[in-house]
């Protein structure tokens, strides 16, 4: 990829290669959750618009004979469904037993990410246990500082400052998103306020009007019955 030419020149080819391998290795022995086939697990991510979400995953199948988890065979697939805050489908795809899925949010708010495993063979899968190792990352974090340093020949201090700059950008983005959320909250509260006000007035009118109608109707009824 880009930067290989300069990398070779500065003798950083090997660490770069390793860095890229590390990135590809995915969640490794990361945390996992146990599922059965077709059991859907959903996660919620509240993110601003334009955020890239990368989910690295690895699935494993429990082998009762060996009493441990083994990597899944190729006929176990992961189905990923992502819904945006307006319940529109952002992603609905089938992936292999290991890899990564990615999507970019179009609107800010709560996104729902649902996963379930299916065996694509038609034979009904025995009641086995499966494990999904999952590692979800938000935004485009520059994890590969080695490559960054080699490309621009930066000092360690410069790298530290770069890390701080990225942190501050993350904070800024979150604050902007928070401003949008607060606006929505305020709109909901004001709408509730309005509704309570107008419905109370309306209901008082209806109450009075119904009372007046009742009296008139009964009065004419009693007059007809010659009781009044």
Partner 1 sequence: MGPAGARPGSPPSPPLLLLLLLLLLRAERPRGAELTFELPDSAKQCFHEDVERGAKFSLDYQVITGGHYDVDCYVEDPLGKTIYRETKKQYDSFTHRAEVKGVYQFCFSNEFSTFSHKTVYFDFQVGDEPPILPDMGNRVTALTQMESACVTIHEALKTVIDSQTHYRLREAQDRARAEELNSRVSYWSVGETVALFLVSFSQVLLLKSFFTEKRPAPRVAHS
10/194 Cα distance (integer angstroms): 67
3-state secondary structure of 43: strand
C-beta closer to partner 1: residue 91 or 159: 159
Helix 145-152, helix 156-224: angle, nearest 10: 130
Please give the backbone phi and psi of residue 202, each rounded to the nearest 5 degrees, phi first.
Answer: -60, -45
Name which of residues 151 to 210 contact partner 1 (CB under 8 A): 156-157, 159-161, 163-164, 167-168, 170-171, 174-175, 178, 181-182, 184-185, 188-189, 191-192, 195-196, 199, 202-203, 206-207, 210
211/75 Cα distance (integer angstroms): 72
Binding mask 8-47 for partner 1 (x = CB under 8 A): ---x-xxx--xx--x--x-xxxxxxxx------xxxxxx-
228/225 Cα distance (integer angstroms): 8
Q: How far is the CB of 106 from partner 1 (least distance, A)?
A: 20
What are 31's two structure tokens? 């945390």
Q: How far is the CB of 94 from partner 1 (least distance, A)?
A: 22
Could you say whether residue 223 binds partner 1 (CB under 8 A)? no
Q: For residue 160, give every residue at least 6 positions away whose Cβ sits within 8 Å of its Cβ, in sequence order, or none.
A: none
Cβ-contact 61, 117 below 8 angstroms? no
Question: Applying CB under 8 A, which residues contact partner 1?
Answer: 11, 13-15, 18-19, 22, 25, 27-34, 41-46, 110, 131, 134-136, 145-146, 149, 156-157, 159-161, 163-164, 167-168, 170-171, 174-175, 178, 181-182, 184-185, 188-189, 191-192, 195-196, 199, 202-203, 206-207, 210-211, 213-214, 217-218, 221-222, 225, 227
């Amino acid at each position: 990829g880009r930067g290989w030419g300069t990398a070779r020149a500065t003798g950083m080819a090997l660490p770069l290669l390793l860095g890229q391998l590390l990135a590809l290795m995915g969640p490794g022995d990361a945390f996992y959750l146990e599922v059965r086939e077709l059991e859907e697990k959903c996660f919620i991510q509240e993110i601003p618009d334009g955020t890239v979400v990368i989910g690295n995953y690895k699935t494993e199948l429990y082998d009762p004979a060996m009493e441990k988890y083994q990597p899944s065979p190729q006929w176990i697939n992961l189905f990923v469904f992502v819904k945006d805050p307006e319940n529109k489908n952002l992603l609905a795809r089938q992936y292999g037993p290991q890899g990564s899925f990615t999507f970019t949010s179009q609107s800010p708010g709560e996104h729902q990410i649902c996963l379930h495993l299916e065996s694509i063979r038609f034979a009904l899968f025995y009641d086995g246990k499966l494990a999904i190792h999952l590692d979800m990352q938000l935004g485009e974090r520059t994890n590969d500082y080695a490559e960054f340093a080699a490309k621009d020949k930066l000092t360690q201090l410069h790298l530290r400052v770069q890390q701080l700059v990225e942190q501050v950008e993350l904070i800024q983005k979150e604050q902007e998103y928070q401003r949008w959320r607060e606006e929505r909250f305020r709109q909901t509260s004001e709408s509730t306020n309005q509704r309570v006000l107008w419905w109370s007035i309306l209901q008082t009118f209806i109450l009075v009007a119904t009372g007046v109608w009742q009296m008139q109707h009964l009065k004419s009824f009693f007059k007809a019955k010659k009781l009044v």
